Structure formats: C-alpha cells, structure tokens
A and B are shown apart, each in its own frame.
Chain A
C-alpha cells in the first residue's frame, strides 16, 4: 500500500496521550478498512456478558483499546481466551487469507508461549512459499521496567524479534510516533511487531487528528549536537535528552537520535551523525548480549571506524532478569546519570 509519509515531528496544537494515540490509530484504521480486526486478552473485557449490560469492561489492560468494541462490535474486536499460541496463530492465518489482523500480546514476556507462530509462520511463510502470500499482521505488545512488576512482566527484549528475518519491529517513543507508526504498521503488508512502552502511556504530545503514516525504518534526530551521538530506543530516548540537557551545562553538546525502528534499523542516520560527532553511546533498556545496542556499535565500528575518537559504547540493562525490589530495579534501569558518566569518560578520556 503506497502512502505518503508525514514529517518525523509534529507541531500541531492538539495534545493527546501516547495511550490515546494508539487508540486513535486503531480506531481510524478500523474505520478506513473493514478488513482490520483486533484480537487479544481483555482488549474489551468481561466478554460475552452483553446480556447483563457489560461491554468493554476494561477497555484493554492499559486502556489502549477502549471504545473499539462499542464502535466495531465483537466480530472485529475479539476478546480471546488466554491462549496466545492459538490466537496469535489464528491472527496470522487470518492475515494470510485476506484480513489485516492485529493481535495483542499483553506483555512481551509472554512471547514464549506463542513464539513458534511468530518465528515459524508469520516470519517465514512469505519466503518459504516463494512469495505467494502477504501476511499483514501486527503484534502489539508491551515492554518496560520500573513498575515493580518483576521478572515476568517487565522485560524489553525486542532485540530477539529484530533478529528474525521476515519481521519488522517498531519502538515508538511519544504520542506522535505512536500514532504514525501504528498506522504504518497496520497498513504494512509484512508482519510488524509494535512495542508499546508502559512508561510512556501518560506522556502527552502534539498529534494531528487526521490519520498519518511515519515510515518504518527511519530514525529521527530529536536534539542536534556536535560532540557525541546518543542513540535512544523507546523511553530511553528521553533518558538521552535528559542526559544531554545536563551535559550541555558542562559544555558537552550531545546529539540525540531516536531509533523508532529496530527492523529495519536506520544505520545510515546513526552513521551520518557519528561521522560528525566522532563518538557514540547507545542507550538500550534491553539486556546487553546480542542487543540492538551491540548491533549498532558493531555497525558503526565497521563502517565509521576512522571517524571515531572513542570506542562505541553502550548503556543498557545488565545481563540479569528484572528484579522486583525497588532499589534493585532502580539500578537495573539505564538512567541519565549512567549516560552522563559514560559520556564524560568518552569525551574526557
């Protein structure tokens, strides 16, 4: 589907929350295209109790799907049993036979129970079948620690998905990118994994009321600078800008790149920046081994080695599960002070 893409930032007057931007993209795409369906656990809630006057009891676990069932009915907004393998697989089957199917996986940590459908069917069908099929399937899922939810409800392991050929992966960082990238994901003819960050749902920002599409695979610079490139992913973009504001007081002018897509990755955008700043720190909430942060550092080392004044570096979660207790979770998460310390070492070293 060809669509003109919107600019990478917005200055319109209307401000809505990240959560509302997701809801608006879903609603507008369901209005626009009657083949769009969405299924998942508790996406309406209290399913099957219309006779008791219960409809949309929850509006989604994080209220990103609120109101959809009232507008589109329970044949297009399908609450599912707790059966991720079946409904993710069924969404892929529906997508390969003429629907645009969106499935919601409540937390990315739950991927283990349905990974096979994603890995062996969604990602590979088009290739294995010699191009006979399109799989316009979107998996909405949630990432992010910092909420005391412990090891099985807090992961950010998006890197394992970007490792899989056949999948596209996007990581919106604010309300504007949330709407534009979800609209793009639903209109895309390939399977797209869309990672919502739990820590961003309440963030407000300027969002146009009409539908618009942001290109999947394009990064954006959210803060220009000349001394070092900080690459952020999802919420970490705002950790980078917080660090950059502090660093500016010390006379260090950091550029912040918001990656937005982790498959494909906009390597050229990052490399162009590093060629000007000569230094790189990637800030990634995911764990470090085989991570997006590692990937970007490797790519920059290979393709811009002679431009570098310091080793490409990473600020990430440690190679541990997400801990429960507050002080442990606090040190687990990358934050501005860790970024600042890393930058100081690279700039002054």
Chain B
C-alpha cells in the first residue's frame, strides 16, 4: 500500500463519519420530522470517500437523493446536516431543503437532488464555469444505476465530451433503482461500457474497496485537471438498507445477497487490509469510530437545541428580489 498514514486515516475517518451519520441520524430524524424522503447510503461509503479525497474545497460536486455521504466527503459539517434533517433554522439550508437538497456552496457542494440525475448538468455547468474562468477546478457528477438510464445524463456526457470539460461522471451502481434490479433496466453489462459512446474513458471498479475507488478516481481527476476531458467511473456498491427508511428491501432481494455484500462492508475491509500490514493500529481506527459516534451525539444535541425556522421564512429566498405581496396576495393565509 503506497498511501501515507495521514491519507489512510482521513479515508477511514470520512467513511466512519458517513456510517455513523446514517446509522444515528436517520432514525433520529424519523422520530422528529417523520420524513419519508431520507435515503441511507450506509454500505456505499467507499465511493464518495475515495472520489472526494482527490478534491479541494473549491472543486464542485453534484449529488443525488442518497447524498449524505457526498456531503460529508466534500467537507460539509455533519452538525449542520443533522440540523437540516431535523428541519432547523441552523441547518445547511436553514431547514428549507432537508435530506434531498442539502447544499453548501462554500464547499462546492451543489446540492443533493430529489430528481434522479438532475444534478448532472449542474456539475457540467460548474465545470464550464471553471473552464471559462480558468479556475482549475473539476466537477464530479454523482448518480446511481437508476440515473444511468436518464436522458439528461447521456446528453450531459456528450456535451462534456464535445466541450472537453473537467467532469467526472461517477456512477454509484448499488444494484437497485428503488426496487428495480440494475440488470432489468440497464441495456449493457456495465454502466461504464457506455463511455465508449461518448469517447471518454470508462472504468468499472469495486465500490466496496476504497483503495480501488481512490486509485481510479485519482486518474479521472488528474485527466480532468489536465484539460483532457471527462471520465465515466462506475463503482459497484450496495446499500445496506432499503430505498428509503420505509421499504423492506427483502421484498425484492434476498437475505443471502445482503449477507454477501455486508461481509464486504467497506469499513470492515479497510480494517482487514490496513491493520495486518501494521500501518495503522486497530485502536487508532476504534478511536476514529468513537470520535464519529461522539460527533453524532453532539450533532443531535446541536440540532435539538436549534430553533425551528421563523414562519416568515416561508416567503424568503424564493427570489433574490420579488414583491412579497405577489407571493401571498389573495391566498387567504391564516394570519
């Protein structure tokens, strides 16, 4: 393994922070906000971690409905994310977005997105900004195997290719588009096979192995930074839970399959690989797990102690500038 200890610790820290956010934050959100629209990325941590490790704070990412991991890996504060999930005024989006719209423009995080593949052209546009203004930034467009079949993705890959934009199209192929198995909806064996249609390199890697993701993403990001254009990177991964908190995944997949993938847990694999080599001790990783656990307790406390948005916020930030009167006139609001 040629990664230094600091890089390794950072990779694990990101993964365990994501895991703890999903495992603690989602049930706690359910108790408070009763939202059906929260999607756990537990199991998929290696993908955002391995990709975003190559990005600076100024680079851009566009994300999906299953985007908590992307946010954390891009440096968004989990406390502010928790507050957002709880619908609090202190949230990343002041409580007006929730899980499917978490954004932090100061971190180049262009939003998780509730419409499948809809953030992809936003990332392409951010890459265009970078190219036109010579900012040297790259943009990663995350999407899933469901998003792989959306027209806007294909248009975006073509556009990024003909304009040679610094984009990494990163498919998190977790095997299921809601309940639909990937092999039912995908015309090719690998999402990455489609790269050929857009004259860009395509790779399929083990998305449960953070080192495989890290290595492939490193090449894709380097290519983008060098002005050589986009890459399609497919990461084979698995979500440990259902599509949302409410569906039972065993209605469309088997326990045996889940067990096989759970045995390939990216955090567990990391330990099994790194600790025997003596680069990092099990105790150091345990300490990172404990820190993540403590951070979630702190985040939950922070969110619970935060105020709900003022009711007047209903009308704020629809526009930069628009007559308030037009938003409420004649609707007989109860005030």
Interface residues of A (CB under 8 A from B): 35, 37, 75-76, 78, 80-81, 83-99, 101, 116-117, 120-121, 125-134, 165-166, 168, 188-190, 217, 263-265, 267, 298-299, 302-303
Q: Which of B30-71 contact A (CB under 8 A)?
A: 60, 62
CA distance A85 to B103 in the complex (A): 22
Measured CB to CB, the closest approach of chain B to A45, in angstroms, equals 16
Give the chain B neighbours of A267 by CB distance below 8 A.
326, 329
Nearest A residue (CB) for B92: A130
Q: Are B129 and A97 touching (Cβ within 8 A)?
A: yes
B72 at the binding interface (Cβ < 8 Å)? no
Nearest A residue (CB) for B329: A267
Measured CB to CB, the closest approach of chain B to A110, in angstroms, equals 13
Interface residues of B (CB under 8 A from A): 60, 62, 91-97, 101, 103-106, 110-111, 113-115, 118-130, 132-133, 151-152, 155-156, 158-159, 162-163, 316-323, 326-327, 329-330
Q: Do A93 and B124 form a contact, CB below 8 Å, given A75-B132, A299-B330?
A: yes
Cβ-Cβ contact count across A and B, 8 Å cutoff: 169
Residue of A80, A83, A91, A168 ringed by the most chain B CB atoms within 10 A: A83
Q: Are B158 and A129 touching (Cβ within 8 A)?
A: no
Closest 4 CB pairs of A and B: A93-B125, A89-B121, A130-B94, A86-B155
Measured CB to CB, the closest approach of chain A to B17, in angstroms, equals 22
Nearest B residue (CB) for A89: B121
CA distance A165 to B319 in the complex (A): 8
Residue of B120, B319, B320 ringed by the most chain A CB atoms within 10 A: B319
Contact partner of B118 (CB less than 8 A), chosen from A116, A263, A302, is A116
Measured CB to CB, the closest approach of chain B to A18, in angstroms, equals 27
CA distance A81 to B155 in the complex (A): 9
Q: Are A264 and B323 touching (Cβ within 8 A)?
A: yes
Contact partner of B323 (CB less than 8 A), chosen from A120, A217, A299, A303, is A217
Q: Are B326 and A265 touching (Cβ within 8 A)?
A: yes
CA distance A129 to B159 in the complex (A): 26
Measured CB to CB, the closest approach of chain B to A124, in angstroms, equals 8
Q: Are B126 and A94 touching (Cβ within 8 A)?
A: yes
CA distance A80 to B96 in the complex (A): 34
CA distance A182 to B320 in the complex (A): 18
Contact partner of B120 (CB less than 8 A), chosen from A81, A89, A101, A298, is A89
Measured CB to CB, the closest approach of chain B to A119, in angstroms, equals 9
CA distance A119 to B10 in the complex (A): 38
Q: Are B320 and A189 touching (Cβ within 8 A)?
A: yes
A-B contact pairs, 12 of them (CB 8 A): A76-B132, A85-B152, A86-B158, A89-B118, A93-B123, A128-B96, A130-B103, A131-B94, A165-B318, A217-B323, A299-B329, A303-B330
